[in-house]
């Protein structure tokens, strides 16, 4: 069974959910609300305002933080990090599938950071194999206790399935039973039907945690 290992390296420089300190370093900081709305929330065809906003964002030292803030908080309108709504749309579609293990490790270190659905699932599965209680998971992920219990139950099923099929296939595509049969020339019985033994399934279960 695999675990996330700890190292002596410093924690990743990830911005917490409540960390808005980057705002003060933005080039747009201090603009009047009217000017800000005109530039960064323009009409769809106001190309002049969009070009001016992109020019400001292009020189801004915190444009990456601005962009990440829009993704983490599902802000789909206006210009953030120099990108329009349409330009950010593909990123919004991908963010729920992001699996960044620096964020997973940061969550275990107690950092209050935004996690995607995939990262939250990874935290839950690793918490399960480490023997965490639902209460501890609820505290770490800022969840309702009943929700944490449900996540733990799902993690238990996923990890059990992963371990049941772990190592079932070799690099040559044969099952462990088939290799034993070739070596010993004795028939062996598969624990599940062959239809279940698909490479896609085994690969998915192998990456489960």
3-state secondary structure the chain: CCCCCCCCCCCCCCCCCCCCHHHHHCCCCCCCHHHHHHHHCCCCCCHHHHHHHHHHHHHCCCHHHHHHHHHHCCCCCCCECCECHHHHHHHHHHHCCCCCHHHHHHHHCCCCCCCCHHHHHHHHHHHHHCCCCHHHHHHHHCCCHHHHHHHHHHHHHHHHHHHHHCCCECCCCCEHHHHHHHHHCCCCCCCCCHHHCCHHHHHHHHCCC
Q: Minimal CA–CA distance to 81: which of 45, 54, 51, 50?
A: 54
- 6, part of any domain: no
- 25, part of any domain: yes
The residue among 66, 95, 124 that closes a domain is 95
- 8, part of any domain: no
pLDDT for 112-143, tens place per residue?
Answer: 888 888 888 899 998 998 899 999 999 888 88
Q: Which residues contact 123 (CB under 8 A, 6 or more apart)?
A: 104, 107, 108, 115, 137, 140, 141
Q: What is the CA radius of gyration of the chain?
A: 24
- 43, part of any domain: yes
- 128, part of any domain: no
- 48, part of any domain: yes
- 105, part of any domain: no
Q: Which domain holds residue 175?
A: 167-209
Averaged pLDDT, 28-36: 90
Average pLDDT of every residue of the chain: 76
The residue among 49, 68, 95 that closes a domain is 95
pLDDT for 45-66, tens place per residue?
Answer: 899 999 999 999 999 999 988 9
State the total domains in the chain. Answer: 2
The residue among 95, 120, 135 that closes a domain is 95
Q: What is the pTM of this model?
A: 0.51
Q: Is the pLDDT of residue 111 over 80?
A: yes
pLDDT at position 7, please? 46
Averaged pLDDT, 84-100: 85
- 209, part of any domain: yes
């Amino acid at each position: 069974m695999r675990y996330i290992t700890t190292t002596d390296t410093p924690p990743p420089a990830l911005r917490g959910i409540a960390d808005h300190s980057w705002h003060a370093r933005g080039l747009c900081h201090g603009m009047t609300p009217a000017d800000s709305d005109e530039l960064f929330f323009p009409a769809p065809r106001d190309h002049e305002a969009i070009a001016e906003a992109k020019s400001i964002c292009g020189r801004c030292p915190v444009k990456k933080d601005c962009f990440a803030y829009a993704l983490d908080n599902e802000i789909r309108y206006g210009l953030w990090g120099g990108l329009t709504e349409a330009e950010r749309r593909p990123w919004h579609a991908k963010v729920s599938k992001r699996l960044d293990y620096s964020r997973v490790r940061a969550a275990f270190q107690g950092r209050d950071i935004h996690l995607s659905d995939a990262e939250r699932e990874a935290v839950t599965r690793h918490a399960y194999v480490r023997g965490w209680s639902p209460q501890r998971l609820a505290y770490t992920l800022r969840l309702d206790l009943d929700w944490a219990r449900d996540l733990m139950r799902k993690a238990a099923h996923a990890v059990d399935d992963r371990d049941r099929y772990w190592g079932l296939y070799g690099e040559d595509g044969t099952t462990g039973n088939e290799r034993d049969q070739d070596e010993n020339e004795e028939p062996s019985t598969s624990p599940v039907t062959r239809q279940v033994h698909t490479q896609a399934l085994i690969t998915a279960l192998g990456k489960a945690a």
